[in-house]
Amino acid sequence: MRFPTCTATFLTAFLATTGGLVGGGTSAWGADTSSAMLASAFDKQVKPLLNTYCAVCHGTEKQKGDVDFSTVKDGEQALGQLPLWKSALAKLTDQEMPPSKEKKQPSDAERQTMQVWMRALKRLQPPDPGPFIIRRLARVEYDNTIRDLFGVDLKAGSDLPTDVPGEGFGNTVSPLLMEKYLIAADDILDRLILPDQYHLTSPAGQLGAIIAGVPEEGKPDGKERIFTSPAELTTVLSIPAEGTYSIRIKAGAEQVGKEPVRIGIRFDGQFVQELKVLAPTKRPAVYTCSTKLVNGKTRFSVVFINPVADVDLPPAAPAAPVGNGKKTPAGTAPKPAPGAKPATPAKPAAPAADPSKAANRTLLIESIEIVGPPAGFVGEAQRRVFVALPGKDVAKRDAAQKIAQAFAYRAYRRPPTDLEIQALLKVFDLADGQDEVFNESIKLMLKAVLVSPQFLYRTPDDRVEAKDPVVPLGDYELASRLSYFLWATMPDDELFKLAKDGKLHEPETLATQVKRLLKDPRAHALAENFAAPWLGLDKVADTTLDEKKFPGVTKDMRQALADEGLTFFDGMMRESGSVLDFIDCDYAYMNGMTARLYGIDSVKGPKMQKVHLDDKNRGGAATMPGVLMVTSTPNRTSPVKRGKWVLEELLGASPPPPPPNVPALDKQDTPENAKLTLRQKTERHRDDPACASCHRVMDPIGFGLENFDAIGRWRDRDDTGGPVDAVGELPGKQRFSSPSELKKILMGRKDEFLRTFTSKLLAFALGRKLVGYDEVVVEDLVEQMAKDEYKLDTLIGRIVASYPFRNRQTLH
Amino acid sequence: MAHRTTLSRRTCLKGLGVAMALPFLETMTWGETPKGAAKNPVRMAFLQSPFGVYPDNFWPKDAKTFGPSGVVPPTLEPLRALLGDCLVIQGLQNPGINATKGSTHLVETSSWLTCTAPKGGGMVEVGVSADQIAALQVGAYTAIPSLELGIQNSNFSHTGEDGFAGAYYDTISFRTPTQPLPCENNPRSVLNRLFSSRKSMPKRRASSGGVAAVGGGAEESEGRSLDQSMLDVVMESTAELRKHISGTDQRTVDEYLDGVRSLEQRVAAIEKQQAEAAHAKQAKGNTKSGLKYSDPIEVAVHDGGKWSEKVKLMGDLMILAFQTDLTRIATFVFEHPFGISYPELGFTEAHHECSHHDNNKEKIEKLCKIERFQIEQFAYIVGRMKGLLDGNGTLLDNSMVMWGSGMGYGLQHNNNNMPTILAGRGGGTIRTGRLVHATGTQGDLLMAILARAGCAPDRAIGSGTKPSNDLV
């Protein structure tokens, strides 16, 4: 049995507070020594206190709450009753026991003796990383993983159910979900792995045109087009992948004047290439050029540059070199001179040309053809997939094997086993066996990867010997756990390399990597996936509001309100801020829109800015307008909801759901009740003992925030027109009369907040509910935070270094 | 996403929405039906609203005067013209379910079609729901075994109250005791699911290297498509994975495999239906003589909009799926019990808030408005189905559309007297136009409904023991 060092520390502390116990040098911190010491300490120190202060109600005579300390005969026995001491510890710490009405109260030192002993006992349990489950990728993780796997952001999971990562995640795959995974895989591969070259051929007559400024649609049966005035042949193309494309234009012309007919090729209005059309209209020829295009929609145009023959026109510009991308055109097309008059006598007209416009040149475009990049060579996704291609010296199946190996390594986020590779090759053979082209066979193989559980779930690295009940995570598993925690995506190349070299688990390396990952923009995922649901900001977009009462809360405003909290978290994470800022701080993030809710005029524009707050009532999560909005009803504030929010999200207390209304209470309702103020109505909760126990705590906290209306603006008068009554009191006679004083009280209870926040973040990192030993881990993390200015980034680093993050249970 | 329609040969885009025109149904044949092919299939839909009803405005005072031309309580008024096609069931109970304690609203959703009490402990564990029991038995006859529809986005993985899994709130369909089926909330996804078959890479004869055999008849469709063969290999290879994972995870993998197998069945069903449709098209004179079918309805898919528009749109998609026999089973959650409000009614108090009305007149009034509004949407769906010919009668005649709530009276959180309306004649097996007092439980009623759709009549549903006799 191993013990983390903190157990020893704790026992040392225990010894110090209790004035030293039975022998056993401090050098021998074996498990037996520890239990022997604790058992002996129970007999000598704790048992007498229990007899004095607790036995009256929890002894042989009375067993209130089914608790009876007299059954615990000695220290040996006491060690085996962890649940009893856990609950006793909670009651002691909250000063709930002994009840305040009892005259005999333990001194602070005595109370501490019992607490320290109970805490030390908790640490006697062996460390346990908690249940290990293979985790399915949540939708956002799926999207991001596909993005990083192929290097192209496809938003491929948009049809998947909206699940979010975190502790309550549903791992199951229904047939519908399976089908959606298959559809998504089809969609992804259709877009990335081209069966052949992209090839578009179209008669010019089927494409749209703008003739003398007038748009004209193409006809389904259209053939060639003939232009004799300023004109542009135009259409929108869906370019499937980045690469160099050939453009072939079959055209002919009737020349006028010295200058040949010139056409310009444009993409999205950017000039790419100029071509001279020399062939006659009777025998059109193919004119070609090529250009780099990125994937996505682009408007392709062929512009008739010089329809009007004008002797004064400058000679044709030399053909521009091939453009190196549509964003950086190689040249600019000279515009046709507006209003230029025909100067040269007409030549024999083209058959279709209007004789009255004989001075104009004639351009005939028969067809256009655009041929895409040879699949497998261009574009980031293709480069990543096609690590080998069949050729003279490479057999098809060998190339497929190399591709499978490389792709599965990244998609499974660990080296694939031989059997896994064989299975993939079997899929390749299925398609190859019926003479599919190589790319199609590869596509089927990749599809198998994308619908495999090894991809859809994060599965363990089987190279780790799993003989013990608990094993450290393999480096690959650790890399995944780390990257999904901080980035909501698969590990990047550096993490892969460290995993491959077997170095990632080294404490210093791990710490360095956490720092690196947190600096990366991708770490914003933690704000989106952890902070937003925690603070309730994921609900801001859909919260119903009374539009008459709160006009102007637009979609953009809602977005900004959610962004405020996310930026707050993000800033704290990147600037080594203190997590206590969630309770209270002197700054907030806002943009021009949300600054109005703060009553601040100086902030302008749509960008989120960090603003210093002079108003002590503002600052901290509870006073963020977004949070105040989601804890309101559509037309008014709700002290109950706000109180519940503070209790649950900041202090970690979870009030049970309210009991249904009992008819007896209905009868108390009288018309007079309608005249009651919100406070009076809410206070009725406390008349009923069934409601009082929770509302006594919940409501006063919410009333402390009554100065903020349902969208978080400050107000001095409430809906009835009377002055806002923000007076409240918490158990323990802590009175307050403003949001600022409430925050002070909360700051006084910062240990509860730190425990809550740390627990939530640890549960998110582990993707499961916290159980058993996790409590000890949280306690240690909280203790360490106090020594380090409560920095969020340090906490994240310590969570990654923590025992349950780095280890897992095995089958044994 | 690549759109390829299975049934539709003409798909036209109009403006921003998608309007679909499908071929005449005469060119299609029904898939198999459980008991001989002559009869039209019986479809069933389960529509749920939360929080029960305000009794005074919902329940008819007198069975004799209740009817289309008689006395109709205010909440049921929108249904007046259709009451002849409805059975209003009073006094229905779901025994063994305590909705008055603890996380009452997840109990009302999760027990409604399962007739079992959900278990706590952070995991989902509850009975299989009636719609899924049916899907297992008759779902194989259609391309889609069952549809699960909803309106709101629900986040399927929050932690619920009292350690209950949040998924209990979000759906009324449970495929296995541990597998809740999320509702489809996006009409576009539903449309995709109904009418874009996946393009499975067809199997070719290796020698010919020629054109694929799609819809070319029964012989070719006997062979497995490459996708199916690929999935076979994927399934085989999970055996290796199983060695390295725990028991819980093995169950996860089992569910995964089950998902893959169901998917394969669905692919096979689609291919078969396509082949049949192609056959029917070839044999042109072979249409169903004497029977009349309405053209499939046109559905314009749009985003956003008011709640009532969303319900109508989802309802239309459900009707379209029934009409084209893509599925015979649907669940539809009108409102998750999260306490949403209905600004289109002119006030923003949430439904849940109003249900706890404390006998406040204003709140009761608003509560009744919301309840009536929900019945209005139910009436829309029922009315539309009544207007569609379906062979020997209307689509409604060949359906059972059940609307109800897992709670009786929201104020008291009880679940005795759960409001229930059953519309449609179940293929001529239900005597409608009545107000009846339930003699059986919710489970018994569900058993009676399933039996009429060709399911085994002795398969118990939760606490149900025998099919109820209340329908005849």
Give me A7's structure tokens.
């157990």
Facing A175 at nearest CB: one of B162, B227, B262: B262
Give the mutation candidate from B348, B349, B416 for the A interface (greatest A CB count, under 10 A): B348
Calculate what percentage of chain B has a pLDDT beyond 70. 76
Give me A584's structure tokens.
């209270």
Q: Tell me what pLDDT residue A291 has.
A: 85
Query: Is A635 an 8 Å CB contact of chain B?
Result: yes
Q: Tell me what pLDDT residue A576 has.
A: 94
Burial class from Cβ neighbours inside 10 Å (0-12, 13-18, 19+) for residue B318 reads buried
Question: Residues 280 to 339 of B: which have CB under 8 A from any A CB?
Answer: none
Query: Is B210 an 8 Å CB contact of chain A?
Result: no
Query: Is B220 an 8 Å CB contact of chain A?
Result: no
Q: How far apart are CA A778 and CA A762, in angstroms?
A: 8
Gap from B263 CA to chain A (nearest CA, Å): 6
Q: Tell me what pLDDT residue A476 has.
A: 94
Q: How far apart are CA A571 and CA A592, in angstroms?
A: 19
Contacts of A493 (CB under 8 A, 6+ apart): none
Q: Tell me what pLDDT residue A342 has.
A: 40
Backbone angles phi, psi at B380, to 5 degrees: -60, -50
Beta-carbon separation of B237 and A457 below 8 A: no
Q: Tell me what pLDDT residue A401 has.
A: 96
Q: Tell me what pLDDT residue A97 has.
A: 81
CB contacts of B362 in chain A (<8 Å) are: 674
Gap from B268 CA to chain A (nearest CA, Å): 13
The mean pLDDT value for B339-355 works out to 87
Give me A9's structure tokens.
């520390």
Residue A664 pLDDT > 70: no
Which residue type, as a one-letter code, is found at position A635? Answer: N
Model pLDDT for residues A464-475, shown as the tens digit of each residue:
555 778 888 999
CB contacts of B227 in chain A (<8 Å) are: 182, 447
Q: How far apart are CA B124 and CA B108, in angstroms?
A: 15
Element containing residue A362 per DSSP (H, E): strand A362-371
Calculate what percentage of chain A has a pLDDT beyond 90. 35
More confident residue, A491 or A555: A491
Q: How many CB atoms lie within 10 A of CB A592?
A: 16
Q: Mark residue B428 as left, alpha or beta (left: phi above 0; alpha: psi -120 to 50; beta: remaining).
A: left
Q: How many CB atoms lie within 10 A of CB A744?
A: 15
Q: Which of A159-168, B43-52, B123-132 has the highest mean pLDDT?
A: B43-52
The mean pLDDT value for A446-471 works out to 82
Nearest to A206 by CA among A235, A245, A239: A235
Beta-carbon separation of B411 and A657 below 8 A: no
Q: Tell me what pLDDT residue A29 has.
A: 36
Query: Is A133 an 8 Å CB contact of chain B?
Result: yes
Question: Residues 552 to 571 of A: which have CB under 8 A from any B CB?
Answer: none
Q: How far apart are CA B380 and CA B393, in angstroms?
A: 19
Q: Tell me what pLDDT residue A641 has.
A: 87
Give me A376's structure tokens.
């497998």
Residue A326 pLDDT > 70: no
User: Is the predicted ipTM greater than 0.90, yes or no?
Assistant: no
More confident residue, A171 or B198: A171
The mean pLDDT value for A742-747 works out to 90
Question: Residues 245 to 264 of B: which have CB under 8 A from any A CB?
Answer: 245-246, 248-249, 252-253, 255-256, 258-260, 262-263
Residue B408 pLDDT > 50: yes
Q: Tell me what pLDDT residue B274 has.
A: 58
pLDDT band (50, 70, 90) for residue B263 = confident
Give me A92's structure tokens.
């002691």
Specify the DSSP class assigned to residue A417.
P
The mean pLDDT value for A197-208 works out to 82
Gap from A431 CA to chain B (nearest CA, Å): 7
Model pLDDT for residues A571-604, shown as the tens digit of each residue:
999 999 999 999 999 999 999 999 999 999 999 9
Give the mutation candidate from B56, B132, B226 for the A interface (greatest A CB count, under 10 A): B226
Q: Tell me what pLDDT residue A755 has.
A: 93
CB contacts of A179 in chain B (<8 Å) are: 193, 198, 263, 266
Q: Give CA separation, A498 vs A474, A490, A502, A505, in Å.
A: 11, 14, 6, 9
More confident residue, B63 or A64: B63
Give me A597's structure tokens.
């809710």
pLDDT band (50, 70, 90) for residue B280 = low
Q: Tell me what pLDDT residue B115 has.
A: 95
Residue A366 pLDDT > 90: yes
Nearest to A232 by CA among A212, A206, A262, A259: A212
**Predicted TM-score (pTM) above 0.95:** no
Calculate what percentage of chain A has a pLDDT beyond 70. 81
Beta-carbon separation of A547 and B340 below 8 A: no
Residue pairs spanning A and B at CB distance below 8 A: 219
Facing A547 at nearest CB: one of B204, B243, B343: B343
Q: Tell me what pLDDT residue A324 has.
A: 40
**Structural contact between residues A594 and A629, judged by C-beta atoms closer than 8 angstroms:** no
pLDDT band (50, 70, 90) for residue B7 = very low
The mean pLDDT value for A116-133 works out to 82
**Structural contact between residues B130 and B449, judged by C-beta atoms closer than 8 angstroms:** yes
Model pLDDT for residues A211-220, shown as the tens digit of each residue:
888 888 888 8
Gap from B34 CA to chain A (nearest CA, Å): 23
Residue B215 pLDDT > 50: no
CB contacts of B340 in chain A (<8 Å) are: 544
Query: Is A634 an 8 Å CB contact of chain B?
Result: yes
Facing B343 at nearest CB: one of A133, A175, A544: A544
Question: Residues 531 to 550 of A: which have CB under 8 A from any B CB?
Answer: 533, 538, 542, 544-547
Query: Is A788 an 8 Å CB contact of chain B?
Result: no
Residue A208 pLDDT > 80: yes
CB contacts of B245 in chain A (<8 Å) are: 134, 459-460, 811
Q: Tell me what pLDDT residue A195 has.
A: 59
Question: Residues 77 to 136 of B: which have CB under 8 A from any A CB?
Answer: 100-104, 122, 124
Residue-averaged pLDDT of chain A: 81
Q: Tell me what pLDDT residue A149 has.
A: 95
CB contacts of A466 in chain B (<8 Å) are: 244
pLDDT band (50, 70, 90) for residue A559 = very high
Residue of B nearest to A155 (CA): B1
The mean pLDDT value for A262-269 works out to 91
Residue-averaged pLDDT of chain B: 79
Facing B358 at nearest CB: one of A436, A457, A661: A661
Residue B434 pLDDT > 80: yes
Rounding to the nearest 10 degrees, give the CA dihedral for residues A384, A387, A391, A396.
-100
Q: Tell me what pLDDT residue A674 has.
A: 53
Gap from B51 CA to chain A (nearest CA, Å): 12
Residue B117 pLDDT > 50: yes
The mean pLDDT value for A41-63 works out to 87
Residue of A nearest to B183 (CA): A161
More confident residue, B5 or A318: A318
Nearest to B381 by CA among B58, B45, B90, B150: B45
Facing B122 at nearest CB: one of A172, A447, A769: A769
Model pLDDT for residues B360-407, shown as the tens digit of each residue:
899 999 999 999 999 999 999 999 999 999 888 899 999 999 999 999
Beta-carbon separation of A423 and B341 below 8 A: no
Residue A68 pLDDT > 70: yes
Range with the poorest average pLDDT among A454-463, A578-587, A651-660:
A651-660
Facing B237 at nearest CB: one of A420, A433, A665: A420
Give the mutation candidate from B195, B198, B256 for the A interface (greatest A CB count, under 10 A): B256
Q: Is the peptide bond before A98 cis (omega within 30 degrees of 0)?
A: yes
Q: Tell me what pLDDT residue A169 has.
A: 66
The mean pLDDT value for B196-200 works out to 50
Residue of B nearest to A183 (CA): B198
Q: Tell me what pLDDT residue A18 has.
A: 44
Beta-carbon separation of B180 and A170 below 8 A: yes
Q: Tell me what pLDDT residue A727 has.
A: 83
Give the mutation candidate from B107, B188, B237 for the A interface (greatest A CB count, under 10 A): B237
Query: Is A638 an 8 Å CB contact of chain B?
Result: no
Which residue type, as a one-letter code, is found at position B353? Answer: E
Q: Tell me what pLDDT residue A2 has.
A: 39
Beta-carbon separation of B226 and A666 below 8 A: no
